[in-house]
Amino acid sequence: MALSSNFWIWIAAILTLAIYSFLYKDNPFYKFAEYLLVGISIGYGISVYWHNTIITKVFNPLVYDKNFLVLIPLLLGLLMFSRFFKNVAYLSRIPIAFVVGAGTGLSVPSSFEFLFKQVYATMPTKLDIGIIIIVIGVISTLIYFFFSLEHKGFVGRVSRVGITFIMVAFGAAFGYTIMARVSLFIGRIQFLLSDWLGIIK
Amino acid sequence: MRFINFINKLDKRWIYLVLALCIIIPFLFPIGFPMKTTAPVKSIYDFIEDSIPEGGVVLIGADYDPSTMAELHPMAKVIATHALSNNLRVLFVTLYPQGAGMAQDVIENVLREWNNSNPDNQKELGKDITLLAYVPGVSAVVLKMGEDIIETFNEDGYGNKLSDLEVMKEIKNYNDIDLMVELAGSAVVLTWLIYANGRYGLNVGIGTTAVSAAEYYSYLQSKQAIGMLGGLKGAAEYENLLSKKGVYWGRKDATVGMDAQSSAHIFFIILIVLGNIAYFVSKKQKGGR
Amino acid sequence: MFIRRTLPLLVSAIFGVALIFQFFIPHPASKSFYNMMLDWLIIVSAFTYLIAVQSTVELHITKIKRKVEGWQYSIIVLVSLFVTALLGIFGGAFMPTTLWMKIFHNVKPTDTTPLMYTYLYMQMPMQSTIFSLLAFYMASAAFRSFRARSFDATLLLITAGIVTIGRVPLGEFIYKGLPDVVEWILKYPNMAAQRGILIGVQLGIIATSIKIILGIERKYLGGGK
C-alpha cells in the first residue's frame, strides 16, 4: 500500500481536511467546503429527480405509454408553482391540502394499528421479572408525561418512578450516541489512512 | 488546586487532539479483541440463512445519506453479500434521493468484490441485484409497493423497464419479498414498520445508527421487527458471522474500527470522570468557605 | 374567499375522510381508488422538492444582489449547484445517458457517471466529515457539562457508562458478562421508557391528524388570507 495516485481520492482528502481545519478555528477553506457541499448536494438531488422521477413517472408514462391519468396529479403539482406569482399564490394551497389531507387519511388507521400492537406487546402473558419491569416502566412513563393530572400524592410517586425509567433510557441512548459519533470519525480516519495515505490496508 | 484550574482552563483543542490520537493509534497497532454476537444481530443473520428459499428476495432500504454512512454502509454491504451468497435476489429501494447514491455505491462494490472472488458464480446487475428508481412520496411509496412494486417505480435506477428485468421475475408486491432490511438513522424506520409491516405484513429487520438503537428495542419486543443491527458494532458482528461462513472478502470496515471504538470510549469515560472530579472538588471548596 | 380558505380545507377533509373509510372497505372499487390516490400522491410530491430548490436558489441570489457579508460564498453555492445539475441531467444519474455516450465515444454504459464522481468524491467525504465533527463536540461536552448533579443525573451517567463500555469489544474483554448486562438494560428498563414515550408521541400524531382532517389545525396552509 502506498500514497494514492488517484486524482479523485486527493480531491476527497483535501476536502476532508478543509472541513477538519474548522476544529482549529473557522477559516475560508472550511467555509468554501461548506458552501460547495450545499450546492453539490442540491445539484445531485435535481439530477436524481430528473432521471428517476420526472422521466420515469411523468414523461415516459405520458409520452410513450399514453397514460393520460397522469395529467390530473401533474396539473395539481404544477399548481404549487403558483406561489411564485403573488396574485394567484393561494392556488398552491390546493395541492398542499391534497398531500396533507390524503397523507393524514392514510396514516390514521395504520397509526392506530401500530399503537395497538405496542400496547398489546405490553400485556403480560406470563409472569416474570422482565415483563413486570416493562409494565411498570411503560405505565409510569406515560403518567409522567400526562400533564392533565397534577403530579402530587400517588400520581406524584408513580411519575417519580417514571423519571427513573426515563433516566435509564436516556443514559442508554446517551452511551449509544457516544458510540455513534465516534463511529463517524472512525469512518473518516479509515478513509484518510487507507484510501488516501495507504498506511493501513 | 492547580489540577482544578488546569481542567477549567484547558483549551478544548487539546481534547480534540487526544481524541484523534485515540482513534488513529489503534489503526496503526491493531489488537483485535474478540466479540460476542448479540441476539438481535443473530436473528437477522439466521433469518437470511435459514428461512429464505433459494431465489427468494431480500429488499434493502437505503434510507441514509453520507452523514451516517460510516455506520450504515458496512451494514448494506454485509446484508447484500449474505443474500447473494445464498443465491437470493437483492433489491435496493430508497425513499430519499441521497440514498440512491449510497445504494449505487454499495451495489457497485459488492458486485465487484463478489465477481473477483467467485469466477464460477458471477452475479449481474439486473439479474441478481438492482436499485429501484428513486420515487418521492415516502409513505405513499411504501404503501404502493404493497400493491404493485413494478407500477410504483416503472423503472430501475438506471432507466431499464422493471418488467423486462430478470431480477423482478414473479415479484408483484410484498407477498413476494421474503425480508426487508431497512437501513436508516431517522424516523423513516417507523414508516416501514407502520405501513409495510403493519398493513401488509412484510418481515422487517432494522439496521440503524447507534443513536437510534436504544429506541428501537420497543419494536423488537413487540415482534414488529425481526432483528436489528445497531451501529458500527452491529455491522462488525455481522461481518464476523459472514467471515466464519467464508463468504466475506472485502475490507471489514466495521471490524477494523472496533479497536479505535474501544479506546475512544475509554477516553470519553475518563473525560466524564475528570470533569466530575473537578466539579465535586470545586463544589466542596465553595461549601467549605 | 372560497378558493383561498374553504376549498383547501374541503380538499384535505374529503380526501382524509375518504382514505380512512377506504381502509375498512375491501371492495375492488375502493381498492382502485386507493391505488389511484397513491399514484397521485407520488406525482404531486415530486414537485415539493423543486419548490425547496427554488427557495434556496432565491435566497443565495438575494444575498449576492444585496452584497450581504460573505456573499462570495453564495456564488460557490450557485455555480456548484448548476454545474452538478447540468452534469447530472446530461450525463445521467447512475448510468451514462445515450447523449453523453454520443459526445464522449469512449464512455461505456457500465462507466461511472460524472454525477457519481461529484457524489462519491466531493459530497460523500464532505458531508460525512461535517457530521464526524460531532465526535469532537461531544468529547468537549463530556468534559465540561456531564455532571452528576442529582440522583437522576447520576443514574443517567452510570447507565451511559455501562452502555458505552459494554458495547465495545474491550468491555467484553474486561468482564465477560458485560454485553449481557447491557442487553438486559436495553431490553427491559430502557425499552419500557422508550415505549411509554413512543405511545405518547403516537397518540399526539393521531390527535393532530384528526385535527387536520376536521379543519381545526390549519398551520400547514401557511399564513395570509
B37 burial level (CB within 10 Å; 0-12, 13-18, 19+): middle
Q: What is the 3-state secondary structure (H, E, C) of C135-192?
A: HHHHHHHHHHCCCCCCHHHHHHHHHHHHHHHHCCHHHHHHCCCHHHHHHHHHHHHHHH
Predicted pLDDT at C223:
59
Residues of chain A in contact with residue C185, where contact means CB-CB under 8 angstroms, are 168, 172
**Any chain B CB within 8 A of the CB of A64?**
no
Check CB contact of C11 with chain A, cutoff 8 Å: yes
Residue type (1 letter), A167: M
Say yes or no: B14 contacts chain C, CB-CB below 8 A.
Answer: no
Place of cell 411503560: A138
Cβ(A150)–Cβ(A143) under 8 Å?
A: no
ipTM of the complex: 0.92
Asked if the C-beta of B262 comes within 8 angstroms of chain A's C-beta atoms, the answer is: no
Rounded (10°) CA dihedral C39, C44, C47, C49: -70
> Residue C8 class from Cβ within 10 Å (0-12 exposed, 13-18 middle, 19+ buried)?
buried
Cβ–Cβ under 8 Å, residues B153 and B146: no
Residue-level pLDDT at C3: 81
Copy the grid coordinates of residue A62: 405520458
pLDDT band of residue A1 (cuts 50, 70, 90) is low
Q: Which residue has the higher pLDDT, C161 or C50?
A: C161
Contacts of B141 in chain C (CB under 8 A): 42
Q: Tell me which amino acid residue C88 is.
A: G
The DSSP secondary-structure symbol of C70 reads T
**pLDDT of the residue at B289:** 55
What is the predicted pLDDT for the residue at C18?
96
Burial pattern C72-108, b for ≥16 Cβ within 10 A else e, equals ebbebbbebbeebbebbbbbbbbbbbeebbeeeeebe
Interface of B with C in 165-224 (CB under 8 A): 210, 213-215, 217-218, 220-221
SS3 B60: strand
Q: What whole-number distance in Å separates Cα of residue B25 and Cα of residue A189?
A: 11
Question: How many whole angstroms separate alpha carbon B18 and alpha carbon C143?
Answer: 13
Residues of chain B with pLDDT below 50 are: none
Q: How many residues does chain B have?
A: 289
Q: How many CA atoms lie within 13 A of B213 on its CB side?
A: 36
The mean pLDDT of chain A is: 93
Question: Could you tell me what percent of chain C has a pLDDT over 70?
Answer: 99
Q: What are phi and psi of B120, to 5 degrees?
A: -95, 5
CA atoms of A143 and A156, how far apart (whole Å): 9
The residue ranges of DSSP E strands in chain B, in sequence order, are 57-63, 89-93, 129-131, 179-184, 204-208, 228-230
| Pairwise CA distance, residues A25 & A167, whole Å | 35
Q: Residue C191: its chain B contacts at CB < 8 A?
A: 217-218, 221
Chain A residues with CB-CB distance to C19 below 8 A: 102, 105-106
Name the grid cell of B239: 461481518
Chain A residues 73-112 with CB within 8 Å of chain C: 73-74, 76-78, 80-81, 83-84, 89-91, 93-112
DSSP class per residue in chain A: --S---HHHHHHHHHHHHHHGGGT---HHHHHHHHHHHHHHHHHHHHHIIIIIIIIIIIHHHHTS--GGGHHHHHHHHGGGGGGSGGGGGGGHHHHHHHHHHHHHHHHHHHHHHHHHHHHHHS-SS--HHHHHHHHHHHHHHHHT-TTS---HHHHHHHHHHHHHHHHHHHHHHHHHHHHHHHHHHHHHHIIIIIIS-S--
Q: What is the pLDDT of residue C179?
A: 92
B244: burial class by Cβ within 10 Å (0-12, 13-18, 19+)? exposed
* A181's grid cell: 459519533
- % chain C with pLDDT above 90: 82
Dmax (CA) of chain B = 82
How far, in Å, CA of A127 to CA of B177, rounded?
A: 36
- Output B6 or C137, whichever has higher pLDDT: C137
Question: To probe the interface with A, which of B73, B96, B188, B194 has the most A CB atoms within 10 Å?
Answer: B194
pLDDT digits (tens, 9 = 90+) for C190-200: 999 999 999 99
The span from the CA of B129 to the CA of B126, in Å, is: 6
Residue to substitute from C3, C10, C11, interface A, most A β-carbons within 10 A: C11
pLDDT digits over C71-81, tens only?
999 999 999 99
Q: Is B278 helix (H, G, I), strand (E, B) or coil?
A: helix
pLDDT tens across A93-117, in order? 999 999 999 999 999 999 999 999 9
Give C90-94 contacts, CB < 8 A, sequence gap 24+.
C91/C115, C92/A51, C92/B159, C93/A47, C93/A48, C93/A50, C93/A51, C93/A52, C93/B100, C93/B157, C94/A51, C94/B100, C94/B104, C94/B131, C94/B157, C94/B158
- The residue extents of the domains of chain C are 1-68, 71-145, 147-225
pLDDT at C225: 44
pLDDT, tens digit, 9 for 90 and up, residues C94-119: 999 999 999 999 998 888 999 999 99
Predicted confidence (pLDDT) per residue in C20-36, tens digit: 999 999 899 999 999 99
